[in-house]
Structure 1
């Protein structure tokens, strides 16, 4: 669950030494002007880049250079001298890229990138005393950290591992030649994604710059059977307009709902001491719903910027429609209709979930769920609320998986039972998510404990009881392992 900290908007001035954790719960301020201005300018620049600097008219080096220059300018415009942290991290990790052995490049890069990010996160608490800076540079630093580590693992896969030891996806994304300095800077600092992401794969990005991105996806479809003699040229204009409409709706909801139901309500005396449990349950859900539009706004706008530049084409759906969701960070419909905790997480901050899967979940030999949640919390920052959320998330994930494995099959015998099951699991999922992510926006220990006390820690208790008394089926860990050529050949021999 990626947080864009500069969008949390907890204040309009630098924190002083007298700021208390509770002070973080002041009403949400408007979206930062610099952020919105940069993204809108990036949108127009993206259209210009696609039309006038297309691969057929401009060399890849020129395209790399221009997107990098724009990206660096945007970062400096938004974050001033704090942007130095971004450039320092990029240069340090490129040094590792060119000097480290391919057998250990991913480890060194991961440790340096995550270590530097964590130091910056810690400084925001212990130096600025829980203050939210108006020029909070941690958001772009988090995005760059994802990209740096993603590329390092893909270089390691391409140059440091045997092909038969890779999964099909790892083979497809493996980078077999180390990037040049210009390619490295362009991938990490391009103006389309440097401010708000999302993370993407290096090979996809290079194919976009070189003009192979769309045709590579179209070649997967047999166009002659569809009556085409030449590959079509899909236009992103329709997708961009659709996403901009979603962005506008999200912005309107953010400006209305978030002010009507601010997170401060969750620590009010009325909520904590006077409201009954059912009222608290419903009100918590409403407040958490009201906190979503700012993420919908930021991520959908970022997606539209990339599409406007011609990046993000994902292929053709079963109805023959062109899809521009390669870089989409969320699926709002599936989020709001999710019937399981897993389905909700898979459609919320999709690119971060993919990054966690590729650098942690698929690669660690022990406790993949626990370590993935811990990495997610560490990547987000060091506010205590993040760890409350992710520790609770581990419990809820295991409990939800256990219930689903034990009882879901009982409701598949008829359509009526399946409808009942879907309605109940939808309600439970939405309430569980609201309960779990509340500390994520509360941030500090005191308001989190106050909230959970008022809710009687009900979800923690229920989840623990489920884990203790229902049988946990062990096949989930086996299913998570990516199939390599070696594992496939072994199965054939068996």
Structure 2
């Protein structure tokens, strides 16, 4: 048994040596320049795609091996990827992982441990943002660290829940509650898992341990039959990657700041923002689809069976069809970065139930998300717009459903394509409006663009916020009138 384990460790070491040699032989600067990308962006792409050979190695050599070997493999490969991308700055994640383990061990299953974790991990991340901030989007150690921050906070909450009476927990909390005491190696393997370390997705410690224990497979006792599902997500990711690569030189956020953009007619400025707002999200879609394929290949994407068929969406961060076709803002929110949204709902929004106000809980959750993304004012403006748009969209939907006149008008079949076109135009125009602040970061940049289109998004939705209640009152009959009509 010992010789087999030594052989596995030797194989991992040999794999790492070969990969490191290959990386050193590449002239990444020249290659990145020839592709029109930065070296850091190229390193990120290489690292994401590197997950596939690592997943294949894991499937064929480690899937049912001893847990400590799997944790070592995940820790070593994750740290190697971190070092390849960020060099000695890998110490930031190492420090937070080790300190998080100590917090769990020394403070136990207490609310103090949860609050200490939240304050320390968020403070460390925000300090990282502060000391590394520039006016542009840079790929630096804070990028994977924001993913790690959520992982470690979730770990502390699940560990806390594990000390409670199961009957006092919701079914969701029972599913994620950690009953045992994680070792440092388990926490490290969970934190550095190569399929999710750089850009996500989020998953719980319990789900990760099921992977290590060989439970995440559709064929008990054998490696998961997940190759085809993984290749489907990879292929979809490659389609988005090609689309982004072809369009990125021609549709940029930098153009929004030019005099040429300002000199065009108002309608052109709006339409450019609409097209750019749709396209700019493709880089995120690409990364999430490719990494989801890695997670599926390892088995981490296994999500039980439905109608006798295995589901592989446990690590899905994108609902592509919904993203491309739904004409509502709520549809985009439900389809985009779904794992992070689910994390915020599970560990933040639902934990604010004691406030007794869903709108307040929603607003605080979006404030948390804005700070989690960074300290730039653009993030606050973007999530403020999301909050405003969602409230107005709910009001408008309620008005149309409850007003007999509007509901009858909305149900006219021949007008459905026209309604859909109008909805999609409004949807993506103001998605682009919100993303302008998100991508331009600093107030002087996004303010310049917003001035050029006369703060259209704020004027439009703030006006509707105050007008729609009066329209609702005028067009929706009172219950007494409805009873008479019945």
For residues 303-382 of structure 1, the aligned pairs below 5 Å read 303-318=292-307, 320-364=308-352, 365=355, 366=357, 367-382=360-375
Q: Which residue of 2 aligns with 1:486?
A: none
CA contact (8 A) 1:234 1:322 kept: no
Structure 1 distance, partners of 2:79, 2:365, is 31
Question: Is the contact between residue 277 and residue 428 of structure 2 (CA under 8 Å) also seen in structure 1?
Answer: no
Which of 178, 190, 194 lines up with 2:193 in the alignment? 190
Q: Does the Cα contact within 8 Å between 1:110 and 1:149 map onto a contact in 2?
A: yes
CA distance in 2, matches of 1:213, 1:308: 11
How many residues are matched? 425
2:127 is aligned with 1:119: yes
- Partners of 1:285 and 1:467 lie apart in 2 by 22
1:235 aligns with: 225
The 8 Å contact of residues 334 and 347 in structure 1, kept in 2 or not, is answered as yes
**Distance 1:263-1:243 versus aligned 2 partners, 3 A rule:** same
Written as runs of structure 1 = structure 2, the 5 A alignment for 1:384-403 is 384-403=377-396
Distance 2:43 2:165 in 1: 46
Q: Does 1:61 align with 2:99?
A: no
Alignment correspondent of 1:429: 427
Task: Tell me which of 133, 137, 140 is aligned to 2:144.
Answer: 140
Cα offset, 1:418, TM superposition = 6.0
Q: Counterparts of 1:86-165 in structure 2 under 5 Å?
A: 86-104=93-111, 105-125=113-133, 129-130=134-135, 133=138, 136-159=140-163, 161-165=164-168
How far apart are the structure 1 equivalents of 2:90 and 2:122? 17
Aligned position for 2:441: 443
Tell whether 2:252 aligns with 1:267: no
Decide which structure has the larger Cα Rg and report it.
2
Q: Which has the higher helix share?
A: 2
Shift of 1:270: 2.6
1:423 Cα deviation (Å)? Answer: 4.3
Q: Aligned partners of 1:261, 1:372: CA distance in 2, in Å?
A: 32
Between the aligned partners of 1:200 and 1:39, the Cα distance in structure 2 is: 17
> Cα deviation per residue 1:159-197 (whole Å; 9 max; x = unaligned)?
1x4434322211222112231111111111122211222
Match of 1:71 in 2: 78
Structure 2 distance, partners of 1:464, 1:68, is 49
Are the counterparts in 2 of residues 385 and 439 from structure 1 also a CA contact under 8 Å? yes
Q: Distance in 2 between matches of 1:190 and 1:233?
A: 18
Correspondence for 2:172 among 166, 169, 174: 169
What is the TM-score normalised by the length of structure 1? 0.80
User: Separation in 1 of the partners of 2:129 and 2:72?
Assistant: 30
**Residue correspondence of structure 1 range 282-297 to structure 2 within 5 A:** 282-297=271-286
Query: 1:152 offset after TM fit, Å?
Result: 1.1
Q: Equivalents in 2 of 1:386, 1:368: separation in Å?
A: 18
User: Aligned-pair distance for 1:41?
Assistant: 2.4
Q: C-alpha distance in 1, partners of 2:329/2:136?
A: 32
CA contact (8 A) 1:93 1:112 kept: no
Q: Displacement of 1:374 after TM fit? A: 0.6
CA deviations on 1:233-279 (whole Å, 9 max, x unpaired) are 7511111221221222222112211111111111121322x222221
**Residues 240 and 286, structure 2, Cα contact 8 Å, conserved in 1:** yes
Cα distance change of structure 1 residues 430 and 94 upon mapping to structure 2, 3 Å threshold: same
TM-score (norm 2): 0.82
Give every structure 1 segment of 4 or more consecutive aligned residues whose post-TM-superposition deviation is greater than 4 Å. Answer: 27-31, 131-134, 230-234, 409-413, 417-423
2:429 alignment partner, SS class: helix
Q: Distance in 2 between matches of 1:183 and 1:302?
A: 21
Q: Is the 8 A contact 1:42 1:192 kept in 2?
A: yes
Query: What is the deviation of 1:321?
Result: 4.0
Q: Secondary structure at the match of 1:213?
A: coil
- Which blocks of at least 5 consecutive residues in structure 1 are unaligned? 1-11, 13-26, 219-229, 473-494
Q: CA RMSD in A?
A: 2.4
Per the alignment, do residues 53 and 28 of structure 1 end up closer, same or farther by CA in structure 2, a change over 3 Å counting? closer
Partner residue of 2:20?
A: none
Q: Which residue of structure 2 aligns with residue 480 of structure 1?
A: none
Contact 2:278–2:428 under 8 Å retained in 1: no
Deviation at 1:399, TM superposition (A): 1.3
User: Which shifted more, 361-370 or 231-240?
Assistant: 231-240
Structure 2 counterpart of 1:36: 45
Q: What residue ranges of structure 2 are gaps of 5+ in the alignment?
A: 1-28, 30-35, 471-486
